[in-house]
C-alpha cells in the first residue's frame, strides 16, 4: 500500500504530507521522518467544526468542551491521496548534492532517499539515523504533482543555512517565552502557598486564644469552688461548736443581730501613714487589676519596671539609667499606657521634667533602700500567681 502519512521519529507525530513535515521541522527542529501506511485521522466536530487528527485528541476535545459528535472524513482524504499517488515518479533532488554523496560511496537509491526525506538538507544525518531501514536502498517514489511542488520549494545551501538560523532564533524565543510563563506559574504558586500559611497561622493563633480563655475560665471556676468549700467548712465548724456548747442549731433564715454602734474614740496616738513599699504594692495591684484579661502584657510591664529599677540599683551614678523619655514608643507600649506604671516610678523617686517629656531620678534623691524595696515588690508580683487577685 502506498504511504498515507509521514511519522516523526522524534515525537511520534503523524503528518499528512512532505509540506506538513517541513513545517513541523521548522517549528520543532526535528529531522527524523519516515513513511507510514497509517492514515492521519480527520475527525470533525459537528458542533464547532474543530478537526482532530487522533482519537486521543477527539477525547480531549470532548472532555474540554462537552462536544461528543464527530464526523469521520479520514477516508475521503485517503482516497484523495491515493488518486494523487496514481502517477508515481522518482522525486526531483539537487543533482550536485547527489553527485557529492555518490562520490562518498553511497548508492544512488540511498543517496536519493536521504536527499528527499531529510529536512533542512541534512542527508548525512538522515542516513546515519535510517541505515537499518529495510527499504534504505530502494528508490523513493512520490506523486508527480507533489514532486513538482517539492522541486519548486527546494533550498540552496545558503538559504538552508539562513532558514536554520531563523528556526533556531524562533526556537530560542519560544523557549524564553515558555520559561517566563513557567516563572509566572511558580510565582502564583508561591503566593498561594504564602496565603495558605498565613491563614493556617491565623487559625492556630485563634485556637490558642480560645484555649487560653477556656483555661482562664476553668481556673476561675476552680477558685470559686474552692471558696465555696471553705465557706461550707466554716459553717460546719460553727455548727459543731454550737453543738458542743449545747446551743440549738442556727436557723438558716435567722439574721445576725446588728452590733451596737460604736462610739468613735479619738486616739491619742497619731495614725501611721502608708509606707512607700505599701504605695508601690498598691500601684502594682492597680496595674494588675486594670489589665487582668491580658496576663502577658501585665508581666511584660512588671519586667520592664524591674529592668529600670535594676539598672539604677547597679549603676546609680550613670545618668542614662536615671532618665527615661516618656514619649518613647517602647516605654509607652510597655509602661506608659498601663495604669499605675508611671506612678510606681514616681514612688521610686522619678520626677517629670521638661514639660512632662522625661522622667528623671536626681542623683541626690537616689534612695537605695527604696530602690531595693521596689525590686523586691516587682519580683514578688512576677513570681506570685495570686498577686492582685484578691
CATH number, residue 346: 1.20.58.2190
Quick check: is 269 in a domain? no
Q: Considering the entire predicted model, what is its pTM?
A: 0.33
Quick check: is 375 in a domain? yes
User: What is the chain's Cα-based Rg?
Assistant: 49
- The three three-digit cell numbers of residue 133, written as one number: 531501514
Quick check: is 227 in a domain? no
On the 0-12 / 13-18 / 19+ scale of CB atoms within 10 A, 339 is middle
Residue 128, pLDDT score: 76
Quick check: is 361 in a domain? yes
Residue 118, pLDDT score: 67
Burial annotation 314-324 (CB, 10 A radius, 16+ → b, else e):
eeeeeeebbeb
Residue 119, pLDDT score: 54
Question: Within this chain, do residues 151 and 286 fall inside the same structural domain, yes or no?
Answer: no
Q: Is 68 helix (H, G, I), strand (E, B) or coil?
A: coil
Question: Within this chain, do residues 9 and 158 fall inside the same structural domain, yes or no?
Answer: yes
Among 341, 283, 338, 278, which Cα is nearest to 307's?
341
Give ∠ CA 248-249-254 in degrees, rounded to 5.
110
Quick check: is 9 in a domain? yes
Last residue of a domain, one of 162, 180, 208: 162
Residue 149, pLDDT score: 52
Residue 195, pLDDT score: 92
- The three three-digit cell numbers of residue 173, written as one number: 524565543
Quick check: is 250 in a domain? no
On the 0-12 / 13-18 / 19+ scale of CB atoms within 10 A, 77 is middle
Residue 187, pLDDT score: 93
DSSP-derived secondary structure for 323-338: EEETT-HHHIIIIITS
Question: Within this chain, do residues 20 and 146 fall inside the same structural domain, yes or no?
Answer: yes
Residue 166, pLDDT score: 78
Quick check: is 82 in a domain? yes
Question: Within this chain, do residues 14 and 145 fall inside the same structural domain, yes or no?
Answer: yes
Residue 122, pLDDT score: 67
Question: Within this chain, do residues 29 and 154 fall inside the same structural domain, yes or no?
Answer: yes
Contact at 8 Å (CB) between 323 and 313? no
Question: Within this chain, do residues 10 and 147 fall inside the same structural domain, yes or no?
Answer: yes
Last residue of a domain, one of 118, 138, 162: 162
Contact at 8 Å (CB) between 3 and 117? no
Quick check: is 233 in a domain? no
Domain count, the chain: 2
Rounded mean pLDDT for each run of 10 residues along the chain, 390 residues in total = 66 73 75 72 82 79 86 69 58 78 82 72 71 75 57 61 77 87 92 92 92 90 90 88 78 54 51 71 86 85 90 88 88 86 88 84 87 88 73
The domain of 137 spans: 5-162
Question: Within this chain, do residues 142 and 280 fall inside the same structural domain, yes or no?
Answer: no
Question: Within this chain, do residues 27 and 150 fall inside the same structural domain, yes or no?
Answer: yes
Separation in Å, CA 68 to CA 54, 71, 77: 14, 10, 22
Residue 191, pLDDT score: 93
Last residue of a domain, one of 143, 162, 181: 162
Amino acid at each position: 500500500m502506498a504511504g498515507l502519512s509521514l511519522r516523526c521519529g522524534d515525537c511520534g507525530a503523524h503528518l499528512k504530507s512532505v509540506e506538513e513535515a517541513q513545517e513541523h521541522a521548522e517549528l520543532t527542529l526535528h529531522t527524523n521522518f519516515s513513511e507510514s501506511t497509517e492514515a492521519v485521522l480527520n475527525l470533525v466536530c459537528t458542533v464547532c467544526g474543530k478537526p482532530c487528527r487522533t482519537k486521543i485528541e477527539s477525547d480531549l476535545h470532548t472532555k474540554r468542551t462537552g462536544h461528543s459528535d464527530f464526523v469521520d472524513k479520514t477516508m475521503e482524504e485517503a482516497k484523495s491521496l491515493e488518486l494523487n499517488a496514481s502517477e508515481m515518479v522518482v522525486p526531483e533532488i539537487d543533482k550536485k548534492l547527489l553527485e557529492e554523496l555518490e562520490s562518498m560511496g553511497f548508492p544512488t537509491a540511498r543517496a536519493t532517499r536521504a536527499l528527499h526525506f531529510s529536512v533542512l538538507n541534512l542527508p548525512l544525518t538522515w542516513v546515519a539515523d535510517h541505515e537499518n531501514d529495510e527499504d534504505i536502498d530502494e528508490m523513493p517514489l512520490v506523486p508527480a504533482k507533489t514532486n513538482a511542488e517539492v522541486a519548486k520549494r527546494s533550498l540552496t545551501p545558503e538559504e538552508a543555512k539562513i532558514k536554520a538560523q531563523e528556526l533556531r532564533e524562533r526556537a530560542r524565543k519560544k523557549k524564553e517565552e515558555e520559561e517566563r510563563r513557567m516563572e509566572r506559574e511558580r510565582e502564583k504558586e508561591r503566593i498561594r502557598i504564602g496565603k495558605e500559611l498565613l491563614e493556617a497561622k491565623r487559625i492556630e493563633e485563634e485556637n490558642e486564644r480560645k484555649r487560653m480563655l477556656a483555661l482562664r475560665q476553668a481556673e476561675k471556676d476552680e477558685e470559686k469552688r474552692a471558696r465555696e468549700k471553705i465557706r461550707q467548712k466554716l459553717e460546719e465548724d460553727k455548727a459543731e461548736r454550737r453543738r458542743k456548747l449545747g446551743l440549738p442549731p442556727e436557723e438558716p433564715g435567722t439574721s445576725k443581730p446588728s452590733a451596737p454602734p460604736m462610739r468613735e474614740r479619738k486616739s491619742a496616738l497619731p495614725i501611721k501613714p502608708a509606707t512607700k513599699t505599701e504605695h508601690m504594692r498598691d500601684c502594682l495591684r492597680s496595674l494588675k487589676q486594670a489589665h487582668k484579661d491580658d496576663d502577658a502584657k501585665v508581666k511584660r510591664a512588671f519586667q520592664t519596671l524591674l529592668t529600670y529599677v535594676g539598672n539604677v540599683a547597679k549603676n546609680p551614678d550613670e545618668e542614662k539609667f536615671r532618665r527615661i523619655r516618656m514619649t518613647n514608643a517602647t516605654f509607652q507600649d510597655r509602661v506608659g499606657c498601663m495604669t499605675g506604671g508611671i506612678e510606681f516610678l514616681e514612688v521610686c523617686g522619678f520626677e517629670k521634667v521638661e514639660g512632662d517629656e522625661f522622667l528623671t531620678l536626681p542623683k541626690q534623691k537616689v534612695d537605695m533602700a527604696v530602690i531595693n524595696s521596689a525590686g523586691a515588690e516587682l519580683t514578688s508580683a512576677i513570681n506570685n500567681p495570686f498577686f492582685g487577685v484578691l
